[in-house]
Structure 1
Amino acid sequence: MDMMRTLADHSIRRALSFAGLGVVTLMLALSYDLPLALRTGGNLLALVCLGLLFAAWRAPRRNLRRSELWSLLLEHAAPLARSLPAAEAQRLMSSTLRQRLVWHADSVGRVALALWVVAMLLALVNG
């Protein structure tokens, strides 16, 4: 179970790093107006958070044997992946993936909230 959690985290964080790269790049492009850049970053991270929550909602309903998590399990824990019956593997993967997606969504939501608060404070100070 710990191996599955680690691999799910790895898969989610890989996707989040690409999303974060896009958010940071756009925020740098808007850096001439710092409150605007922070507000935009908060808005985009809120969208990423919603995407994570949607993926968590969908996780029990999709076939995870066609996912990156299953590929990582086959690569790093092949005996575990092959020893589980299909229904048990689906149940374990979907519950683990859902739990980790919600955890990451919570973290991304906190960062989005922090960006909004800092943007609001800067707008009050400058306004």
Structure 2
Amino acid sequence: MQPVFEAYADLSIRRACAFVGLATATLMVALSFDAVLSCRSGAQLVALLAVGLVMAAWRAPHRNLRHSEVYALLIDSGLPRGRLATTEMQAMLAEVLRERLLWHAERVSLIALGLWGLALLLWMLS
């Protein structure tokens, strides 16, 4: 059951990250007249995404996951509500969600670090 939870948690998290990535890329293109400013702004927004993912991971074990997108995806996949509503399944889902959120936050923070490095490099070259 855990690989199914991981797959749907990844789908939900990546969908949210894609929307934030689209907004960040749009802003960076809008600021492309100043490459350093564009990279700094992108790095700040991506770092905010990483902080948001860490905060969501911190909250995951304490919130009602029956109102989450992951739960809705699991119901749509055909898993019975009664089985998902048990305390053990909710705890397992919360732990998987927390783990996957932290995994994604780690990767997103590396992207932010890369953008900061690029901004520093461009600043030194200009």
> Shorter-normalised TM-score: what interval?
over 0.9
Distance in 1 between residues matched to 2:108 and 2:78, nearest whole Å: 29
Distance in 1 between residues matched to 2:41 and 2:115, nearest whole Å: 9
The alignment partner of 2:32 has SS state of: coil
CA deviation after TM superposition for structure 1 residue 85, in Å? 5.4
What do residues 68-112 of structure 1 show as CA deviations (whole Å, max 9, x unaligned)? 111111111414x54355211210110000000000000110000
Q: Which amino acid aligns with 2:40?
A: R
Identity of aligned residues (%): 46
TM-score by length of 1: 0.94
In structure 2, the partner of 1:23 is 24
Moved over 2 A (4+): 81-85
TM-score by length of 2: 0.95
Alignment pair present for 1:125 and 2:120: no
CA RMSD of aligned residues (A): 1.1
Distance in 1 between residues matched to 2:110 and 2:123, nearest whole Å: 20
In structure 1, the partner of 2:65 is 64
User: Retained in 1: the 8 A contact 2:83–2:89?
Assistant: no
Distance in 1 between residues matched to 2:57 and 2:78, nearest whole Å: 23
- Structure 2: where are the runs of 5+ without partners? none
Aligned residue pair count: 125
